[in-house]
Each structure stands twice: as structure tokens, then as C-alpha cells.
Amino acid sequence: MAHPTLACRFLNFKLHSPLVLASGIIGTSAGLMTRAARHGAGMVTAKSCGPAPRTGHPNPVALDWGHGLINAIGLTNPGAEEEARLLAETQTQLRPLGVPLIASIFAGTVAEFAQVARTVASAQPDLIEVNISCPNVGDEFGTPFAGTCESAAAVTESVKNAVACPVSIKLAPNVPDIARIAGAVVEAGADAITAINTMPGMVIEPVSGRPVLSNRVGGISGPALKPIALRCVYEIAQAVSVPIIGTGGVSTGLDAAEMLLAGATVVGVGSAVYYRGVTALEQIGQELAAFMEEQRISSVETLRLRG
């Protein structure tokens, strides 16, 4: 058998690798995103931006607690207008490499999502990822948009009406039925789904008796999140036919294989960059290719069909 290929398709994009730099890791500058592209990323995702600049939460905001990471950065970002300039600069460096750029957005109201999407779309990203795990400030209880089919679909429709590029909706794991919500956003026009965001959690320092993070609670990522992400991706893949960016706890090539077997089209890599450095995607790609060769699997599509 010839050496396996990692090349694959996602929507209308031909990727040299199924590995995607996830949002929020090193997607903060054109140089870092280009570096990730040169070191194994088939697509790269910029850090999420919102309607206005945010400084985020005071330190401590992140911790390696032994089984993964927990963070409450607080959506630190320069605002949509400055982000659009960063995205435009990044595109000039990524296009010659053939690596698509994903912009990531969040907002507090349905109308704000459309506004932020229009602003970042001016930089011509290849895809916009919509983070609907943030609280709906127009809701009496501040329920996250990802929490119900109705609110998730409303954001999806609003963004789709605002931009011409493809849109992926990033779903949250802490919901009663993620497959139903996936179905609702696809019906509302989502071109793809990113699954999943971090899982809310808490770590307490026992001597002081206080939560470690200044925000008390934060999002769990890294190895502890993988079984949850696999279950969510599997359920979504059974419910909808759009491509899925499977994200959560992928640190090795075998982890990536598991995510593809669960039904992901491509695989997001985030916390592994903390553990293995900026070349994590390259290393994971090499490990995935070695596994495929050992199992006599010729392509990413063939691997996925085995799941």
C-alpha cells in the first residue's frame, strides 16, 4: 500500500491535513497563525472577537490541574474592527500556503452577532466560526445561546443573513440534547458545526479553601474533555450531514483518529499546543499518518468511514 495521505476536503476547501488550530490558543497574531500553518495545521482559527475590546479577567486565569487545563480568560480581544485588520494581515500570509483562515466571533445579542460577523467578513476569512456558548445578555437569566434550539437557530440565521462566506456554529457540551441543537442550527443554515467548546468546571485550592481562578469557574479543556467531545461529535454526526470540526482533548495522533472515527470531518487541536509546543499539530499529524499506515488505511475519508 502507498503511504497514507492526510489530504482531505472540508466544505469546498482541499486541505493538506485534517488538523485545525482551534480558537483561543495562539490565534492572536498573523505570525503565530502562519507558524501554525507551516507546522501542520490544515486550517487555522483566530482567537474569538466580539463587538468591543475586552481586557478579560484578572489573574489567575488558567491552570494545568493535572488532567487537563481550566481557564477563564474572559474573552480577551481587541474588538471586531481591530480583529478584521489582524485577519486581513493573516490572510496575506496564509493564502500562498493554501491554508484557510477561520474567524471566530462572539456577542451578547442576536443583532450583535450579525454586526460582528459583517465586520470580520470584510477581511475575507474563509469561514466564520460562531461561538454561541456566551451568555445572552438580552435573556432574563443570561442563558447561553447554545442552551436552546431556538436561541442557537436565531443566531445562526442572523449571521447567515449578514455574510456570504460559510459559517460554522460552535456548540457547547453542557446541554441536554446536543444533537437536537445541531439539527436546529443546520436547519437555520449552518454550513458546518464545531464541537465542542470547553466544559464548565472548578478547581479549589484546599489549604486556602478558595477557587484557584479569579473567576471561580472556568472552561475545562485538554485530556479530561476528550470523552465528552467524542460523545458529542458522535451524536451530532448521527443527526446531521454537514461537516464537523471535532475539537476537545486531542493531544496525539491516536486521539485524532478517535475523533475522526466518532464522525468528525476534521479535527481541532488546542490545548495540545500548551503541552507539546507550536509544532504539536505537525507531531500529531505524523502520529496519525503512522497509525493509518500501520492499520493499512489509505486516507482520512477511509478512516472516518470505519467509525
Tens digits of per-residue pLDDT, 271-298? 999 999 989 999 999 999 999 999 999 9
Whole-number Å distance between alpha carbons of 196 and 228: 9
- Residue 142 has a pLDDT of 63
pLDDT at 139: 60
Per-residue burial over 264-294, b if 16 or more Cβ lie within 10 Å, else e, is: bbbbbbbbbbbebebbbbbbbbebbbebbee
Query: Which pLDDT value is given to residue 293?
Result: 96
Architecture of domain 8-305 in this structure:
Alpha-Beta Barrel (3.20)
pLDDT of residue 292: 97
What are the mean pLDDT values of the chain's consecutive 10-residue runs (307 residues total)? 88 98 90 96 97 90 93 89 97 97 96 98 98 69 85 97 98 96 98 96 95 92 97 98 98 98 98 94 98 96 89
Respond yes or no: is residue 149 known to be catalytic: no
Q: Where are the domains of the chain?
A: 8-305
Strand partners, 10: 13
Q: Can you give the pLDDT at residue 29? A: 93
Condensed to tens digits (0 to 9), the pLDDT of residues 138-156 reads 665 567 899 999 999 999 9
How far apart, in Å, are the Cα atoms of 22 and each of 3, 9, 67, 112, 194?
A: 27, 18, 19, 23, 10
The one catalytic residue among 49, 134, 165, 232: 134
Give kind and range of the element (H or E) at residue 5: none
- β-strand 69-71 against 167-171: which pairing, if any? unpaired
